[in-house]
Amino acid sequence: MTTQRILIALTLAASIGAAGAARAAEGTPTPPAQKWTFSGPFGKFDQGQLQRGFKIYKEVCASCHAMNLVSFRNLAEPGGPGFSVAQAAAVAAEYKIKDLDDKGEAIERNGRPADRFPSPFANDLAAAAANGGVTPPDLSTMAKARTYERGFPWFVFDIFTQFQEQGPDYIVALLTGYKEPPKGFALPAGGNYNEYFPGHVIAMPNPLSDGQVTFDDGAPQTVAQYAKDVTAFMMWAAEPHLVARKRLGFQVMIFLVVLSGLLYFTKKKVWSAVH
Amino acid sequence: MSGNSTYQPQSKVLQWFEKRLPIGGLIHSSFVAYPTPRNLNYWWTFGGILSFMLGVQIITGIVLAMHYTPHVDLAFKSVETIMRDVNYGWLLRYLHSNGASMFFIAVYIHMFRGMYYGSYKEPREVLWILGVIIYLLMMATGFLGYTLPWGQMSFWGATVITNFFSAIPGVGEAVVTWLWGGFAIGNPTLNRFYSLHYLLPFVIAGVVILHVWALHVSGQNNPAGIEPKSDRDTVPFTPYATVKDGFFMAVFCIMFAWFIFYAPNYLGHADNYIPANPAVTPAHIVPEWYYLPFYAILRAIPDKLLGVVAMFASILILAFLPWLDTSRVKSARYRPLFKQFFWLFFAVCIGLGWLGAKPAEGIYVVLSRILTFYYFAHFIIVLPLLGIFEKTKPLPNSISESVLGSKA
C-alpha cells in the first residue's frame, strides 16, 4: 500500500508541475471565470441577456459570421430569448432569403420563421475571399467548440462542480482580449494581437467598441457587457435545450436517488437471512 | 445455462410450451436458480451493469440511426438536427455518447476486478478470453461511433487510427486505401464505418451470450478465490444477486445521469463541435479517454510499426493472462505481494492514460516509455515470477467459513 501512495504522490507532483510549465510555454493566460446564469444544476438563460446578445449578433457578428443551424422560429421556443411567435416572424421578415419560385426562377423573398439565419456570404469561398483568405467560422456551435486546458486537478473537480463553461469564458476573454502587441512582437500583415488567442495573432479585427450597439433595457453599453451578452446568446444557439435538459435532469436525479434508496433497503431485507 | 432444470411451469399452456421449447427452464436455471457464491461484493455487479449498458447503447443507437445521415456533407448537420429538432433528440444523443463512456468505465472496473481476484484462472480461461474479445469489439465499435458526427476529432481520429495499418510492411498503403474506400478519408469511409458501427454491437451481444454461457458452466469466481463446496457456500441468483445488481445498477445510473444532464460534453472533445475539415489539422489530436493508455504506448515507441505492434500487443497480452500468472492462488486477498503489484499496475495504467492526453514531447515521452516498459513487465516478468516466489497466506476451507468465520 505504501508503494501505491508514493506513486500517487509522485504522479500528482509531476502533473501539477507539468501543467504549469505547459501554460507558461504557450504564453496564453487562462480566461477569467465569468458568472453565468446558465451554469450549475438549476441554470437558466437570462431572457434579457439573450435578447441583447441577439441584437449584438445581428448588428455586429452577422456581417461576417454565419449561424446556419439556428432558425428564426427558435427565437420563440421555450428556454430561449423569449420572443413571441409574431416577434420571431417579424425578425424573419426583415431578411431577404434566396429561393426559387414555382417556375424555377431565382427569387428573393421575405424570411419566414422556418428559415435558417441566412449567411452573410454566398458560399465559403466568397467568405474567405472577403476576409483575407479565411472563412469566418459558423457560430452555431461555437460556444461548445472552444475550450482551454483546465489541467490537473481542476479537470477532476469540474465533474463535481459541473463546471462546463470553458467555451463561454474563453469567448468573453477573446472578445475583450484585443491589445497593443508587446514590444518586439512581430505582427504579420492583416493580423491582430489578442492576448487569449493561441499564438496571439487573430485574423478577426477587434469587433466591439463601447456604445456600438444600443440597448433599450438600460444595460451598460460597454465592450465587457457586449462580450458577455453575445457569448450567452452563442451558448443558447449551441445548446438551445439547455434549460429543459437541466430541469429534466433534476427530476431524473430525484427518481434515481429514491429508487436507489428503496432498492438498498430491499437488498438489506433480502440478505438479512444469509448475513 | 448448464444442467437439467428443475423448472416446472404452473399453467397448462406454459407446460405445453415448455415440452416443445424449454426456454422457461433455460431462463429459470440461468437467472433464478443459478447458484452464486454468497460472498460476492459490489465489484461483482458490473457484469449486470455492462449488459444493461449494452442494451442502452443498442436501443438509443437504433433510434439515433433513424435520424442520422451518413454523408460527409450532412452528417454533422444531421447530428445537430437531432440535438435541436428531434423530440428529446438531445437526450438520445447524450445518452448514447455518454453511454459509451459509462460502458468503458464499467468494463474497466470489471476487468480490474477480474485481475485482482484472479477470475481468469482455471477453470475460467475461456470465459476470460471471451471477455477480451468483447473488449476488443467494444474498442472498435467506440472508435467507429466517434467518427460518425464528422467533427474535427472524428475526422482526424479516423485519420490517425486508419493510418496504423500503413505501418504494415509492403502492403500497408494498399490496406489503408482499401479501408478508406479511396485515396483519402471520404464518403465511402464514413458509410462503411456507419455500417460496421451498426453491425458490431450485435456481434458483441452474441459474444456476451457465449461469455454468460461460459460463466454459467464454470460458476462465478468470488473474493475468496475458492470454489463453492456445498450449498452453504452459495445463494440462488434470484432474489439475492438480482436485488444486489439492481441496487447497484441504480447507483451507477445516478453517475450516468449526472454526466448526461449536467456535464454532457465533459467526456468529449470541444473540437468535435467543429465540422470536419481535411485542410485544418487540430493542434492536438486526442482519442476518446478510454483509448488514452494505448495511445500513450503507441507514441512511446519511436518506430511506427513497432509502436502499432506494441499497442495491439498491450491488449492481446490480456488473452494470455491465465498462463502468464503462474500462481495457483486466485484472490489477491491471500497474495500479499501480488496485491502491491496489482495496485502498482493499476497506477501505471492511470499514468499511461494521463500521458496519452499529453503532447508527445519532452518528459512525457520519457515517462511514457518507462510506464510502457512496466506495463509489459507486469505481464511478462512480474506475474510469472510471483507465482514461483510469493509466499501466499493460507486459504479458508470454504466460502462460508471465509464469510462467517470458522464457527460456522
Query: What's the pLDDT at A3?
Result: 47
Alpha-carbon distance B150 to B143, whole Å?
12
Does A271 contact B358 at a Cβ distance shorter than 8 Å? no
Packed helices B172-180 and B187-218: angle between N→C axes, nearest 10 degrees: 100
Residues of chain A with Cβ-Cβ distance to B244 below 8 Å are 267, 271
The predicted model gives B212-228 an average pLDDT of 95
pLDDT at B186 over 50: yes
Q: Quick check: B204 pLDDT over 70?
A: yes
Helix (H, G, I), strand (E, B), or coil: what is residue A181? coil
* Residue A248 scores a pLDDT above 70: yes
pLDDT of residue B403: 81
* The pLDDT value given to residue A26: 54
Residue A144 and residue B343: Cβ atoms within 8 Å? no
pLDDT grade for A132, boundaries at 50, 70 and 90? confident
Chain B hits for A237, Cβ within 8 Å:
none
pLDDT(B209) > 50: yes
Scored b (16 or more CB within 10 A) or e, B121-136 reads beebbbbbbbbbbbbb
Closest CA to B327 of B264, B277, B395: B395
Q: What's the gap in Å between the CA of A95 and the closest CA on chain B?
A: 22
- Inter-chain residue contact B261 with A246, CB threshold 8 Å: yes
CB of B106 within 8 A of CB of B49? yes
CB within 8 Å: B254 and A248: no
Among A81-90, B27-36, B128-137, which is the least confidently predicted range?
Answer: B27-36
Summarize pLDDT for B383-394 with one digit per residue, the tens. 999 999 999 999
**A105-130 pLDDT tens trace:** 999 999 999 999 999 999 999 999 99
Among left, alpha and beta (phi > 0; psi -120 to 50; other), residue B122 is beta
Residue A20, pLDDT above cutoff 90? no
Give the per-residue pLDDT at B406.
Answer: 56
Distance from CA of B179 to the nearest CA of A (A): 29
Strands A201-202 and A192-193: antiparallel
Query: Taking all residues of chain B, what is their mean pLDDT, rounded to a whole number?
Result: 95
pLDDT, residue A274, reads 82
How many angstroms separate the CA atoms of B97 and B100, rounded?
5
- Is B261 in Cβ contact with A252 (below 8 Å)? yes
pLDDT class for B116, splitting at 50, 70, 90? very high
Name which of A34, A29, A30 is nearest A231 in CA terms. A34
Residue B4: pLDDT above 90?
Answer: no
- Residue among B235, B257, B274 minimizing CB distance to A253: B257
Percentage of residues in chain A having pLDDT higher than 90: 85
User: Residues B176-196: what's their mean pLDDT?
Assistant: 97
Identify from B39, B52, B243, B350 which residue to disrupt to test chain A contact, counting A C-beta atoms within 10 A and taking the largest count.
B243
Contact B264 A267 (CB under 8 A): no
For the segment A51-62, the average pLDDT, to the nearest whole number, is 97
Assess: ipTM above 0.95: no
Residue A233 amino acid letter:
F
Give how far B203 is from chain A: nearest CA, Å.
31
- For residues A89 and A94, give the distance between their C-alpha atoms in angstroms, rounded to a whole number: 9
**Rounded Cα distance, B111 and B133, in Å:** 12
Place of cell 510469493: B390
* Structure confidence at residue B88 (pLDDT): 98
- Cα separation, B130 vs B50, in Å, equals 14
Which of A26-30, B198-202, B289-293 shows the lowest per-residue confidence on average (mean pLDDT)?
A26-30
Residue B32 predicted with pLDDT over 90:
yes
Determine the Cα angle at A265 with ends A264 and A269, to 5°. 120
Q: Which residues of B touch A140 (CB under 8 A)?
A: 80
CB contact (8 A) between residue B80 and residue A167: no
Chain A contact for B377 (CB, 8 A cutoff): no
Residue of A22 and A72 predicted with greater confidence: A72
Judge whether residue B30 has pLDDT over 50: yes
Tell me the C-alpha distance between A56 and A228, whole Å: 11
Ranges A55-64, B277-286, B305-314: which has the least confidence = B277-286
The average pLDDT across B41-60 equals 98
What is the average pLDDT across A1-20?
Answer: 42
pLDDT at residue A1 tops 90: no
Region A146-175: what's the mean pLDDT?
A: 95
Q: Is the pLDDT of residue A6 over 80?
A: no
Q: Tell me how far CA of residue A150 lies from CA of A24, A33, B258, in angstroms.
A: 14, 12, 20
Confidence band, pLDDT 50/70/90 cuts, at residue A19: very low
- For chain B, percent of residues with pLDDT exceeding 70: 98
Q: What's the whole-number mean pLDDT along residues A267-272?
A: 96
B251–A140 CB contact, under 8 Å: no
Chain B: residue nearest A12 by CA? B351
- Greater confidence (B59 vs A2) lies with B59
Which residues from chain B sit within 8 angstroms of residue A252, using beta carbons? 257, 261
pLDDT band, very low/low/confident/very high, at B5 (cuts 50, 70, 90) = low
Three-class secondary structure of residue A16 per DSSP: helix
Strand (E) or helix (H) holding A148 = none
Nearest to B117 by CA among B228, B226, B225, B234: B225
pLDDT at B374: 98
- What's the rounded mean pLDDT across residues B228-240? 93
B258/A263 CB distance under 8 A = no
Percentage of chain B modeled with pLDDT above 90: 93
Q: Indicate the pLDDT class of residue A25, thresholds 50, 70 and 90.
A: very low
CB proximity B278 to A under 8 Å: no
Q: Which domains does chain B have, with CATH numbers?
A: 45-400 (1.20.810.10)
Chain A contact present for B235, CB below 8 A: yes
What confidence tier does B402 reach under pLDDT thresholds 50, 70, 90?
confident
B16 touches A: beta carbon within 8 Å: no
pLDDT for the residue numbered A22: 39
CA dist list (Å): B137 to A155, B95, B131, B212, B217:
29, 20, 10, 16, 23
- Local confidence band at B360 (pLDDT 50, 70, 90 cut-offs): confident
Whether pLDDT at A7 is above 50:
no
Phi first, then psi: what are they for A71, rounded to 5°?
A: -110, 160
pLDDT in tens, B124-168: 999 999 999 999 999 999 999 999 999 999 999 999 999 999 999
Do residues A192 and A204 make contact, with C-beta atoms less than 8 angstroms apart?
yes
**Mean pLDDT along residues A238-244:** 98
Q: Which of A139-148, B3-12, B364-373 has the lowest mean pLDDT?
A: B3-12
* pLDDT higher than threshold 50 for residue A51: yes
In this model, does residue A219 exceed pLDDT 60?
yes
Do residue B363 and residue A252 have CB atoms under 8 angstroms apart? no
**Cβ separation of A270 and B351 shorter than 8 Å?**
no
